[in-house]
Amino acid sequence: MFDDVMFLAKGGFTAYLGPISEVEDYFRGIGLVVPDRINPPDHFMDALEGIVTPSNYPKFDTRNLPVLWMLKKGYTIPPDLEAVAIALQQQSNPMDESKDHMNESTSGSTRKKEKAFHQEVLHDVHVFFRLWYFFIKTSLHKLEDKSGRNPPGFVAQYFIILKR
């Protein structure tokens, strides 16, 4: 009795969000085919947990599902997942439905131009420095304490524990 469904991968990332009528088509497009006599939602949840892997894709990694969803929808990829997105885009495997469609077309005008080697290197360097900047920014950034609490110090906490 649902119209829409949301599947979350580990870490709370969205693996699918949309109409129920399109769930099986989406997961079939990335290589997760539901076997006969198996409940589709159970099968998808088992795949998200890593219990089930597609037989035609033995290197299936559940951590890629949120990135595949972001790529399909055209969402901005977070800096910490950008390296995974680049690797997925460069791979040619059954998980990447967009490359299957490109291979089916015979005209050269519909195919994307491949990047030159120096463009790939520059892009990789750019991604590396963005990730490094994100790491430095998050590790050195101190959050402001807005709670107004004054917790006891280390020594006071030690004596509180000893008294128990």
Helix axes 117-140, 82-90, angle to 10 degrees: 160
What number of other Cβ atoms are within 10 A of residue 141's Cβ?
A: 7
Look up the pTM and report it: 0.52
Q: How far apart are CA 51 and CA 27, in angstroms?
A: 16
Task: Report how far residue 38's alpha carbon sits from residue 43's, in angstroms, rounded to the nearest whole number.
Answer: 7
Structural domain range at position 8: 4-139
Number of domains in the chain: 1
Cβ-proximal residues to 24 (8 Å cutoff; 6+ apart), any chain: 34, 40
Tell me, yes or no, whether 164 lies in a domain.
Answer: no
Report the alpha-carbon distance of residue 40 to residue 33 in Å, rounded. 9
- Any domain includes 71: yes
Which structure tokens are listed for 16?
Answer: 């699918």
Residue 54 falls within a domain, yes or no?
A: yes
pLDDT tens for the 164 residues of the chain, in order: 778 999 998 888 899 999 999 999 998 888 888 888 889 989 898 888 888 877 777 677 888 888 888 888 888 888 888 888 888 777 754 444 444 433 343 334 333 456 678 888 888 888 888 888 887 877 776 667 777 788 788 898 888 889 88
Instruction: Classify residue 106 by its DSSP letter.
Output: -
Residue 52 lies in a domain: yes
> Quick check: is 151 in a domain?
no
Does some domain include residue 153?
Answer: no
DSSP 59: T
Whether 137 contacts 79, CB under 8 Å: no
User: Residue 157 domain-assigned?
Assistant: no
CB 2 within 8 A of CB 20: yes
